[in-house]
Amino acid sequence: MKHMGTSALLVLVLGGCSAMAPPQAWEKGALAKPEMSMGGDALEQRNAQHVYASKENASGGAGVGGGGCGCN
């Protein structure tokens, strides 16, 4: 019986966020808030972007193109 309860809970948890309705077009203002950003604050994001671009310059980094020496 105990296992039944555990598996029932597991089934509920497995669904995760898929049970929630996606935000409607007019509710997307909540996603535009700074705290919804995947990164940290603006400075940290800029630093991370700079490091990424310099490491990945041969393959184009976050932009298109690339080229260069091909070394990492």
Partner 1 sequence: MAMGGVQAVEPGQHAPAIDLPGPAAQVNLSQLQGKLVYLDFWASWCGPCRQSFPWMNEMQAKYGTRGLQVVGVNLDNKTEDATKFLAQVPARFAVGFDPQGDTARRYQLKGMPSSVLIGPDGKVIQVHIGFQADQRQALETVIVAALPAAR
Q: How far is the CB of 29 from partner 1 (least distance, A)?
A: 4
Site for partner 1 in 7-46 (CB under 8 A): 24-30, 32
Q: How many CA atoms lie within 13 A of 34 on its CB side?
A: 5
Q: How far is the CB of 25 from partner 1 (least distance, A)?
A: 5
Q: How many CA atoms lie within 13 A of 14 on its CB side?
A: 6
Residue number, 31 or 69, with CB nearest to partner 1: 31
Alpha-carbon span 44 to 50, nearest angstrom: 10
Q: Tell me which residues touch partner 1 (CB under 8 A).
A: 24-30, 32
